[in-house]
Amino acid sequence: MLATAPDGILLVDKPQGISSHRVVSIARRRLGLKKIGHAGTLDPMATGLLLLGAGPSTRLLTHLVGLGKTYMATIRLGVGTDSDDADGAPTSARGVAGADVSDDAVERAVAAQRGVIDQVPSTVSAIKVDGRRAYDLARRGEEVVLRSRTVTVSRFDVTGRNGRTVSVDGQEIAVVDLDVVVDCSSGTYVRALARDVGAALGTGAHLTALRRTAVGPFDVAAAIDLEDDGVDVGAALVRPADVARRLFDVVTLEPGAAKDLTDGKRVAVEHPDSDGPVAAIAAEDDRLVGLVSVRRGRLRVITNFPAPTSAGTTRSGAGA
């Protein structure tokens, strides 16, 4: 019996110091498959949950990108950087001496960043300006002006604080490190939250640590270390049908209906109308047949998913 080609969503715990693109490259090598994508990057400094799609499941990535995120981070008050995180060069090192960084003052600054806010992304970001990445422009010394965007920060809580002395360019300064947890909408920059809290307190600030712990219903506790050769990466792929169940309503199709939908025919079902997506799953083999909308008791395909093919067939055409 031929093995089926890799197909599914892979939950990866990205280590610090490598790019999301590098994670994708490692996954391609481990799975022997070119067709792999990701649902939103993490900065090299950041660790935590990165969602990859393999094979036909790359079609699910567009539905994963917009999911809410949860982060744990450490904000250092007293030092600002040009990237708003520890990978950047210091732009200010005023410290916290003489500034009001009491618990009440910090809470006021943090509270101002909760809810629906207009946020200017960090200058050193992957946002494109006239077709070029903002970080490329900034690193070449070009002026970068980014528009604000509306994001939602549903939770931004300080969970701990620690005062310390650090050396910046040979100068010893007093700083305060804040441990925080953030629940936010897709597109929110936690680095920018740190920057704006520092601005409100008059101290400057940047991130010294960032870890993504959840994306929608997916938790980093279920993620794998992709660089661990002892991990069976293929076995760690979450099946498309199981992913779809966690994201969408489900309509179950009997064999004849599943084939008809695959063939492009409109299938009659008993299901409330929906603009979609609804996951159409075949009862016979528990396979995700497609994402559909429902109108007047009939299914219309939004995205179809091919039946599994042998590993040899898929790999020879990978990336097509």
Which residues are the active-site residues? Answer: 43
Residue 301 amino acid letter: V
CA distance 126 to 131: 11
Structure token pair of residue 66: 């917009």
Are the C-beta atoms of residues 40 and 215 closer than 8 Å to each other? Answer: yes
Are the C-beta atoms of residues 158 and 179 closer than 8 Å to each other? Answer: yes
Structure token pair of residue 80: 């600002």
Are the C-beta atoms of residues 300 and 293 closer than 8 Å to each other? Answer: yes
Residue 12 amino acid letter: V
Distances (CA, A) of 87 to 8, 43, 165: 33, 10, 19
Which residues does residue 224 pair with via DSSP β-bridges, in sequence order?
Answer: 12
Are the C-beta atoms of residues 183 and 159 closer than 8 Å to each other? Answer: no
